[in-house]
């Protein structure tokens, strides 16, 4: 059944909101004061994000469940025929995906804030509160942080495209496990945004929300998790096209 651009918009908003609500939620549970999951560690965050992707993919199945503008760009670079059934790849449809993913990411971050409002009110380092919403490097070096995001997103988008060519049709599970693997292996330097919307939408929410003692939104770093994934997604789409052409 063909999908209209309005259906694409609603689907991507809902799916991306679910992704960020559960993803930011697991970070909040691990790092904010006096939560049940406080101190749960990096692997809990990795698995929480993987399961967030799992929920988001099913929430946005009508639109092809991009949830991530890097995936959209990867499909564009891969010269795919459609973004979803009946959704031609055009400038207008590409912008619909971007707008919907950004709005969904913002709304998901707001919902995560509301769920953990009393914990945001507790005394904590402003950087800890920002980390619930957006990524940040352990060692700040913009060039190398950018490289990390390009590499990690390349892995994500390249494998997703190859999943789409597989006859197995395993659905959301392999993508969820892929995100867990990327977080465990490549997430250490930057916190693995691997999604422009995942970082920018919640960072805007952090800037606008009345978060007690929140501090700066670190806009000086924001370009890295936005443009790094876009470049990584584009490279993945181009290489996947070449690889499939060579194999096929």
What does the pLDDT read at residue 245?
A: 52
Confidence of residue 79 (pLDDT cuts 50, 70, 90): confident
**3-class state of residue 12 by DSSP:** helix
Q: What is the pLDDT of residues 64-77, one digit of tens each?
A: 999 999 999 999 99
Q: Position of tokens 């924001």?
A: 222
Confidence of residue 140 (pLDDT cuts 50, 70, 90): very high
In DSSP terms, 87 is beta-bridged to 84
Confidence of residue 15 (pLDDT cuts 50, 70, 90): very high
List all residues 6 or more positions away from 173 whose beta carbon is below 8 Å from its beta carbon: 54
| 6, pLDDT greater than 70 | yes
Q: Are 140 and 51 in contact (CB under 8 A)?
A: no
Distance CA 51, CA 47 (A): 6
Name the token pair of 27. Answer: 């970070």
Give the residue among 138, 137, 116 at the shortest CA–CA distance from 212.
116
Which has the higher per-residue pLDDT, 185 or 164? 185
Q: What is the pLDDT of residues 123-139, one digit of tens each?
A: 999 999 999 999 999 99
Q: How far is residue 86 CA from its own chain's centroid?
A: 25
Average pLDDT over residues 225-242: 95
Q: What is the pLDDT of residues 87-107, one digit of tens each?
A: 999 999 999 999 999 999 999
Confidence of residue 188 (pLDDT cuts 50, 70, 90): very high
- Give all domains of the chain, ordered by start, each with its CATH number: 5-247 (1.20.1080.10)
């Amino acid at each position: 059944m063909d999908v209209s651009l309005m259906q694409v918009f609603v689907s991507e908003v809902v799916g991306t909101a679910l992704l960020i609500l559960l993803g930011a939620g697991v970070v909040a549970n691990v790092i904010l004061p006096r939560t049940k999951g406080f101190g749960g560690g990096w692997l809990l965050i990795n698995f929480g994000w993987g399961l967030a992707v799992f929920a988001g993919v099913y929430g946005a199945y009508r639109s092809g469940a991009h949830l991530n503008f890097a995936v959209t760009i990867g499909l564009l670079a891969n010269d795919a025929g459609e973004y979803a059934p009946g959704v031609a790849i055009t400038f207008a449809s590409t912008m619909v995906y971007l707008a919907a993913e950004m709005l969904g990411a913002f709304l998901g971050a707001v919902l995560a804030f509301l769920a953990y409002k009393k914990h945001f009110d507790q005394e904590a380092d402003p950087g800890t509160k920002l980390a619930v919403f957006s990524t940040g490097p352990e060692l700040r070096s913009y060039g190398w942080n950018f490289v990390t995001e390009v590499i990690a997103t390349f892995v994500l988008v390249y494998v997703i495209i190859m999943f789409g060519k597989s006859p197995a049709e395993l659905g959301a599970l392999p993508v969820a496990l892929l995100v867990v693997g990327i977080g465990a292996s490549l997430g250490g330097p930057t916190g693995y945004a691997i999604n422009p919307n995942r970082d920018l939408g919640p960072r805007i929410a952090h800037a606008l929300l009345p978060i007690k003692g929140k501090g700066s939104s670190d806009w000086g770093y924001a370009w890295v998790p936005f443009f790094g994934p876009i470049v990584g997604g584009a490279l993945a789409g181009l290489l996947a096209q070449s690889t499939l052409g060579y194999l096929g």
